[in-house]
Amino acid sequence: MKVSRKYIFALILSAFGAVAFAQQGNEHNHTHGEGDQHDHAHEAPAQAQQPAEAAHAHEAGAEHSGCGHPASDDPKDFNAGETAIHHIADVNAIHIFGDTYLNLPVILYAKGHGWKLSSTAIFHAHHHGNGTVAQDGYVLVHGSVMRVQDPAFPMGEVKVSEPTHDVVKTDKGKEKIIYYVQANGVCYTLDAKTTFDGGLMGGGVTSFYDFSITRNVFTMLLTFLLLFLLLRAAARAYASRPGQAPKGIQNFFEPFITFIRDDVAKPNIGPNYERYMPYLLSAFFFILGLNLIGQIPFFPGSANVTGNISVTMVLALITFLIVSFSGNANYWKHIFAMPGVPKPLLIILTPVEILGAILKPFTLMLRLFANITAGHIVIISFVSLIFIFTNKFGAGTGTAIGAAASIPLTLFMMALELLVAFLQAFIFTMLSATYIGSAIEEHHH
């Protein structure tokens, strides 16, 4: 197999991904440093509440109730980072404009309570996507469903206050945001939904699981439908106009399909490429569609789907499974007992090879996730310049300066992200094909 420039290109991209991550790590450490200032020795998951303790370390705001701080409505408190983080997150209710939300189905499971199937409409969300009522202990915070930790919390509909939050340190030394709501004058700690990061990223198994149709799931379904209609129309044209020159939508999709076939599958997989074409095309169009829809800055776009590690994890895992199940004897032999290598050396080489086989899909997962998330964050940050300058220099000149800086930068970034949308879809497909190719390659020694 030729070691082409494509590999070098992919390598550079991986390096970029790694740099992005390293920066994130730094940021994280940085926050740690700051977090130490308001370390309340909270044990997470905390007990029902420790409002008194939480309160004293903070400069008491006007609305401080001893139960975390409320999200500020004051434009002076605008935080670009926080805004970006909220925008890229997956949510249960989609914000359309103003206080209008698209309510989506919620499918929740809590131990001891069982399944709850409903819609986000039951939370009566108003601004910021915060619900005004708790339903069976579930509340809506920034568009996401959370659950009151206290099992004694009354079931059914309970009026709750605006949620408040606080940053605490877990026993593992990680930072964590704890949200609270008040109901009947009592402060309750909220649990976020269960995540499978093992507490490494501040999540973990909590009191409930969320299997809802979230914004990301909704966007995936929408992309699926859109791509199905478009590609089905193209596919029909081949049947309805056989032996004729391609026309319209056929011409639009054909270059992509022939590109994946002739420049991705054929050179990397070899003569048996046809078996893998449906997967490669599915991965390419699925990622590309989601990337592009995510770029639309308003409903029904803007969802950061391919920038969510759950999504890229599934895609990378499927590539990994295909590679593993397609791998021939040669492939496995090269991993577990590299031929022509002295036995003692295998003690070192075999773990490295096994690690390599696992790292391949891992990098697939991280590369796509990091690139798309970074793109979303940068665009939101550039848009935020308008608000930052407005805060700094006032509504007139500040806004003008902010807009003058923001518009060209955002435009540039949008254009770059358009390229990245195609590039990342291509890279994912390309590397998947490379891994499959290396697993089914016949070695001739």
- 14/389 Cα distance (integer angstroms): 35
Question: Residues 164, 291, 308, 406: which binds other proteins (CB under 8 A)?
Answer: 308
- 361/355 Cα distance (integer angstroms): 11
As beta bridge partners, residue 189 has: 180
Contacts of 50 (CB under 8 A, 6+ apart): 40, 42
Coil vs helix vs strand at 85: helix
Coil vs helix vs strand at 402: helix
Question: Residues 72, 310, 328, 397: which binds other proteins (CB under 8 A)?
Answer: 310
- Comparison of 174 and 367: residue with beta carbon closer to other proteins: 174
- Phi then psi for residue 120, to 5 deg, are -65, -10
Min dist CB 3 to other proteins, Å, is 29
Query: Applying CB under 8 A, does 321 fall inside the site for other proteins?
Result: no
- Comparison of 193 and 334: residue with beta carbon closer to other proteins: 193
Give the CA distances from residue 171 to residues 40, 45, 147, 174, 407, in Å, rounded to whole numbers and listed in that order. 11, 9, 21, 7, 44
Query: Applying CB under 8 A, does 362 fall inside the site for other proteins?
Result: no
Say if residues 304 and 219 touch (Cβ distance below 8 Å): no
How do beta strands 114-119 and 175-183 pair?
A: unpaired
Question: Residues 6, 193, 334, 360: which binds other proteins (CB under 8 A)?
Answer: 193
- Comparison of 335 and 420: residue with beta carbon closer to other proteins: 420
Say if residues 405 and 276 touch (Cβ distance below 8 Å): no
- Comparison of 162 and 175: residue with beta carbon closer to other proteins: 175
Min dist CB 87 to other proteins, Å, is 10
Site pattern 383..422 for other proteins (x: CB under 8 A): ----------------------------------------
Query: Applying CB under 8 A, does 12 fall inside the site for other proteins?
Result: no
Say if residues 365 and 309 touch (Cβ distance below 8 Å): yes
Query: Applying CB under 8 A, does 319 fall inside the site for other proteins?
Result: no
User: For residues 106-165, which are near other proteins according to CB under 8 A?
Assistant: 107, 165
Question: Residues 48, 55, 89, 405: which binds other proteins (CB under 8 A)?
Answer: 89
Question: Residues 13, 54, 67, 88: which binds other proteins (CB under 8 A)?
Answer: 88
Coil vs helix vs strand at 136: coil
Say if residues 365 and 19 touch (Cβ distance below 8 Å): no
Query: Applying CB under 8 A, does 326 fall inside the site for other proteins?
Result: no
Coil vs helix vs strand at 350: helix
Query: Largest Cα–Cα distance in the chain?
Result: 78
- Comparison of 217 and 335: residue with beta carbon closer to other proteins: 217
- Comparison of 316 and 385: residue with beta carbon closer to other proteins: 316
Question: Residues 67, 167, 323, 425: which binds other proteins (CB under 8 A)?
Answer: 167
- Phi then psi for residue 108, to 5 deg, are -120, 150
Query: Applying CB under 8 A, does 77 fall inside the site for other proteins?
Result: no
Based on C-alpha coordinates, what's the Rg of the chain? 25
Min dist CB 146 to other proteins, Å, is 12
Q: Which stretch binds other proteins (CB under 8 A): 11-19, 183-191, 312-320, 382-390?
A: 312-320
User: For residues 17-46, which are near other proteins according to CB under 8 A?
Assistant: 27-28, 30-31, 34-35
